[in-house]
């Protein structure tokens, strides 16, 4: 399959046009794109935006309607969607496709998937997370910065039983430490091959994939890209993984912690800023020139400091579900440490920090982002926090190089290290009490996030789990 995205990027139109003064595509260009789609066998297009949770939404249109579709002809009742900030009496929102990325579905090339932005009255609708990310990217652009992002894609492939419970598909995938296991990898070869082949065909630059730390857990790593493109790819990746798993009679789940006694699924954000004129990585310098020895610039340290300053609030978008905080534990019910970041701290190749600078330098990895995050929302707030650190020339202090899991509370206090939120309720409270989040997202999206996530916690807290029945039903 041809990566059609590269064809349209050859028009030299930057990804993300919603804040440009004029529409970026001429009628001749739209006609050329429509012709290429027809030649590729495409019959339908969908302009796919996301709701508050990062779930793709959209209408399908026939290719004959392409020109109108490209200008935002498709209207939506926002009240029918989670977190889009509309009431039943509000005007409809539109979706305008970003033609810098067009992906014919690898499993059905008659349908072209195109990421889209919401507008209201022909203006960017800033209650949409993809729109907000572009707004923050514009602020970075005014400083001369672009943002590169790589997301490590982790997930479980499981069998769902008739009663809704899930289990590992093959019973001999039962090793205590199954990380990198070749036999268990080959057990899921058909699904893995479909995924890897599609990622390569799409031109994303897959460079490794493996059986991860938990049973029937896998990870895919492909090249980083500008932040908007990477968030689009991650959104499509999740949709593609679910489809190919369903072909095998299985479920691909991005639930961060589906099994209490196994490692959870992260979506580590690997971030750097680059010079918009030269493309130079502004975070990288030789280790020998870095007084702290991590191989990053003072700009990177300021970026890190900004994220640490707002770490508890950011946690609500990096880890946005009740289940997320079952992953963010030191050990839990596992036989060994969880790898999960529970501390608002940074260091070099030390995976007990929430922010890690890999040995190669030049980038900052946020480890508390998980597989359920809305990538646009998380990236927007991470970038905004990092830019604040740069503007205010903040200093993150010394990197932490010890195993933080083993420190006592007094030792943590001596080092000035605090723990990140331990429940969704704590995270939402931190999000709500930090003025930075409202300032970045605006009143409506801020209120929508707090409202939906507070309700998610309320419903969870008032539900009765099987654990409670097993523990208490016969106890008294």
pLDDT at 309: 97
pLDDT at 412: 82
CB of 374 closer than 8 Å to CB of 452: no
Range in 68-82, 312-326, 402-416, 447-461 the model is least confident about = 402-416
Euclidean distance between CA atoms 342 and 353, whole angstroms: 7
CB of 137 closer than 8 Å to CB of 257: no
Please give the average per-residue pLDDT across 342-355, as a whole number.
Answer: 89
Task: Report pLDDT digits (tens) over 188-227.
Answer: 999 999 999 999 999 999 999 999 999 999 999 999 999 9
What six digits make up the tokens of 281? 């990585």
Nearest 5°: phi and psi at 410?
-70, -35
For the chain, give the percent of residues with pLDDT over 70.
95
What six digits make up the tokens of 45? 């297009």
pLDDT of residue 333 exceeding 60, the answer is no
pLDDT of residue 335 exceeding 70, the answer is no
What six digits make up the tokens of 410? 């007094």
Helices within 94-219 (DSSP H only)? 129-142, 182-187, 189-201
Q: Where residue 10 falls among pLDDT bands split at 50, 70, 90? A: very low
Task: Report pLDDT digits (tens) over 66-98.
Answer: 999 999 999 999 999 999 999 999 999 999 999
Task: Report pLDDT digits (tens) over 244-281.
Answer: 999 999 999 999 999 998 899 999 999 999 999 999 99
From the list 274, 331, 314, the residue with the least C-alpha distance to 436 is 314
Q: Where are the domains of the chain?
A: 4-121, 292-476
What six digits make up the tokens of 229? 């493109």
3-state helix vs strand vs coil in the chain, percent to 5: 40, 20, 40
Please give the average per-residue pLDDT across 132-142, as a whole number.
Answer: 97
Chain-centroid distance, C-alpha 237 = 11
Euclidean distance between CA atoms 266 and 211, whole angstroms: 14
Range in 61-75, 102-116, 349-363 the model is least confident about = 349-363
For residue 48, give the DSSP letter: E
pLDDT at 87: 92
Q: Where residue 332 falls among pLDDT bands split at 50, 70, 90? A: low
Euclidean distance between CA atoms 432 and 454, whole angstroms: 10
* DSSP letter string, 66-115: HHHHHTT-EEE-GGGSTTS---TTSPPEEEEE-TT--EEETTEEEEEEEE
Task: Report pLDDT digits (tens) over 410-424.
Answer: 888 888 888 999 999
Q: What torsion, rounded to 10 degrees, do the Cα atoms 320, 316, 389, 133 define?
A: 40
Judge whether 4-121 and 292-476 match in fold: no
Euclidean distance between CA atoms 466 and 476, whole angstroms: 17
From the list 412, 296, 398, the residue with the least C-alpha distance to 347 is 398
pLDDT of residue 320 exceeding 70, the answer is yes
- For domain 292-476, the CATH class is alpha beta
Q: What is the mean pLDDT of the chain?
A: 93
Please report the sign of the dihedral spanned by the C-alpha atoms of residue 414, residue 415, residue 416, residue 422.
negative
For residue 368, give the DSSP letter: S
Please give the average per-residue pLDDT across 296-312, as a whole number.
Answer: 98
Please give the average per-residue pLDDT across 337-342, as a whole number.
Answer: 75
What residues are paired with 125 via a beta bridge? none
Beta strands per DSSP E along 142-198: 145-151, 153-160, 166-167
pLDDT at 404: 83
CATH number for the domain running over 4-121: 3.10.20.70
Task: Report pLDDT digits (tens) over 366-389.
Answer: 999 999 999 999 999 999 999 999
pLDDT of residue 8 exceeding 80, the answer is no
The CA distances from residue 354 to 62, 170, 219, 232, 295, in Å, are: 46, 33, 19, 24, 18
How many other C-beta atoms lie within 10 A of the C-beta of residue 411? Answer: 12
The CA distances from residue 428 to 266, 407, 418, 423, in Å, are: 19, 27, 17, 9
Q: Where residue 11 falls among pLDDT bands split at 50, 70, 90? A: very low
């Amino acid at each position: 399959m041809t990566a059609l995205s590269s064809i349209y990027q050859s028009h030299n139109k930057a990804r993300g046009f919603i804040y440009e003064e004029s529409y970026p595509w001429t009628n001749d260009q739209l006609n050329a794109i429509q012709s290429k789609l027809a030649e590729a066998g495409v019959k339908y297009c969908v302009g796919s935006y996301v709701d508050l949770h990062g779930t793709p939404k959209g209408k399908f249109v026939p290719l004959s309607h392409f020109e109108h579709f490209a200008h935002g002809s498709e209207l939506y009742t926002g009240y029918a969607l989670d977190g889009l900030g509309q009431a039943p009496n509000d005007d409809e929102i539109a979706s305008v496709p970003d033609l810098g990325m067009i992906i014919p579905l690898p499993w059905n090339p008659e349908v072209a998937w195109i990421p889209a932005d919401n507008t209201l009255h022909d203006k960017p609708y800033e209650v949409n997370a993809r729109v907000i990310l572009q707004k923050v990217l514009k602020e970075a652009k005014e400083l001369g910065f672009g943002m590169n992002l790589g997301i490590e894609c982790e997930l479980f492939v499981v069998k769902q039983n008739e009663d809704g419970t899930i289990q590992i598909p093959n019973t001999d995938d039962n090793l205590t430490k199954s990380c990198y296991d070749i036999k268990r990898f080959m057990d899921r070869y058909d699904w893995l091959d479909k995924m890897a082949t599609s990622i390569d065909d799409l031109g994303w630059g897959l460079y490794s994939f493996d059986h991860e730390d938990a049973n029937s857990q896998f990870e895919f790593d492909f090249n980083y890209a500008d932040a908007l493109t990477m968030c689009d790819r991650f959104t499509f990746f999740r949709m593609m993984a679910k489809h190919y798993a369903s072909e095998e009679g299985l479920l691909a789940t991005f639930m961060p912690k589906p099994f209490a006694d196994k490692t959870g699924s992260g979506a580590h954000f690997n971030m750097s800023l680059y010079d918009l004129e030269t493309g130079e990585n502004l975070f990288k310098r030789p280790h020998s020139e870095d007084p702290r020895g991590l191989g990053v610039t003072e700009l990177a340290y300021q970026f890190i400091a900004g994220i640490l300053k707002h770490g508890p609030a950011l946690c609500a978008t990096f880890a946005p579900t009740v289940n997320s905080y079952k992953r963010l534990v030191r050990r839990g019910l596992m036989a060994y440490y969880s790898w999960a970041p529970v501390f608002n701290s940074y260091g070099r190749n030390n995976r007990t920090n929430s922010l890690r600078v890999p040995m190669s330098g030049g980038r900052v990895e946020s480890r508390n982002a998980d597989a359920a995050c809305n990538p646009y929302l998380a990236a927007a707030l991470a970038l905004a926090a990092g830019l604040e650190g740069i503007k205010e020339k903040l200093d993150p202090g010394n990197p932490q190089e010890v195993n933080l899991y083993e420190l006592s509370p007094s030792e943590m206090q001596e080092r000035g290290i605090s723990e990140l939120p331990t429940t969704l309720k704590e995270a939402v409270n931190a999000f709500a009490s930090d003025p930075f989040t409202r300032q970045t997202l605006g009143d409506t999206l801020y209120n929508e996030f707090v409202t939906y996530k507070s309700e998610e916690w309320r419903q969870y807290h008032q539900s009765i789990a099987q654990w409670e029945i097993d523990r208490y039903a016969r106890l008294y």
